Amino acid sequence: MPDGAAPDADGGAPPGPSLWQRLLLWLPHLRRDDGAPLGERLRSAVLKPADPTSATTTPGAGSTTPGAAPMEELEASAKRADDKERLIGLVAAPLAAAVGVVVISTLISNDPAQYLANGHANPKYVTVGIYHELLVVLLALALAMMAAAWFRKRLYLGIAMALYGLAVFNLHYWGFGVPFVMGGAYYLVRSYRLNRTLREATGDLPGSRGSTGKDGSGRPRPNKRYTPPT
């Protein structure tokens, strides 16, 4: 009886091919894989191919009213900050608190003496209590930034950042104040643009296409009712 076909000692079925034999049988199929590169073959073997029968879902695909989903997305983006803006605010708030502590500590340490050498009062001297009050204001603005970013309030976050930047800028620390002023201006401008786009889409802005009481030029529509003079 040929080798490999003889049954085992117990009379069962012949043993299957070994791992080396299966590898030799698999190599010709690998070479005849339609000339596809090795990277594509590995990618197709590892990644799960997309099902061609499944339909891609787009925003508003299940809604019967056309434009309903974009309007809802526009309202959400106008009222609430997105994840990126929220993350920037959450990072900027503790950084603002640290900058405020460093700035006020530096001002207190560099505060000149209260009296000059001739015994007169020094006009450049500032009371330490004023610096402490400024520190409380800066920490309050940093806390306002944190709260506005946490609750995704873009407008309030922009106001708090702009006020903080102006406060630090007035203390002659321009390097710390300018980034917060620019960040606050970005949030304010973005909030204004999104709200204006939303008002134009809903027809609440004069001159918009959806406005009901006015024409496209923004002027009131003429009244067709004739009133005779008395």
The count of other CB atoms within 10 Å of the CB of residue 150 is 13
**Whole-angstrom distance, CA of residue 136 vs CA of residue 71:** 42
Structure-token pair, residue 168: 């630090």
For the cut 90, the answer to whether the pLDDT of residue 198 exceeds it is: no
Which DSSP category does 81 fall into? Answer: -
Enclosing H/E stretch for 70 = helix 68-79
Sorting pLDDT into bands at 50, 70 and 90, what band is 111? confident
- For the residues 58-77, what does the mean pLDDT come to? 59
Digit-coded pLDDT (tens) for 14-65: 666 676 676 666 655 555 555 556 556 545 544 444 444 444 443 443 344 4
pLDDT value of position 85: 94
Whether residue 142 contacts residue 163, with contact meaning beta carbons closer than 8 Å, is answered with no
Share of residues in the chain with pLDDT > 70 (%): 60
Among 52-56, 129-133, 204-208, the range of highest mean pLDDT: 129-133
Residue type, 179: P
